[in-house]
Amino acid sequence: MPMILLSKGAEILLLRFHEKNGDRVGAHPGDRLPQQLFEEAAAESPGVDFDGSMQSLLEGNLTRQEGEEFVLTQEGYDYLYKRAGHRMGEG
């Protein structure tokens, strides 16, 4: 599996699955979050560039979109908990 490089914005969005409802409850493949939560994450993080962040999660198969919801994939779970990747600019 190739290493996935994420921007800070994309990583913040992916972490929303781990921090549902403000609680660090953990995430599981198949978990769903509404698009609104990702928009709120961007609004709560001034100075972070979110342009293209959701698209990079979709293209990396870390999430998939079903209607107005985003679903965590196995690859997204692996990134969060098995560290099969890292943020762009870090080595």
Q: Which fold has domain 4-87?
A: Sec63 N-terminal domain-like fold (1.10.3380)
Identify which of 46, 23, 50, 20 has the alpha carbon closest to the alpha carbon of residue 34.
20
The whole-angstrom separation of Cα 81 and Cα 30 is 15
- Global pTM reads 0.81
Q: Which amino acid is at 86?
A: H
**Residue 2: which pLDDT band, with cuts at 50, 70 and 90?**
low
Identify which of 79, 67, 64 has the alpha carbon closest to the alpha carbon of residue 31.
64
What is the rounded average pLDDT of the residues 31-42? 90
The whole-angstrom separation of Cα 23 and Cα 67 is 25
What's the confidence (pLDDT) of residue 88?
Answer: 44
pLDDT tens digits, residue range 37-84? 888 888 998 899 999 999 999 999 999 999 999 999 999 998 888 865
Q: Which of 5-9, 19-23, 61-65, 77-81 has the lowest mean pLDDT?
A: 19-23
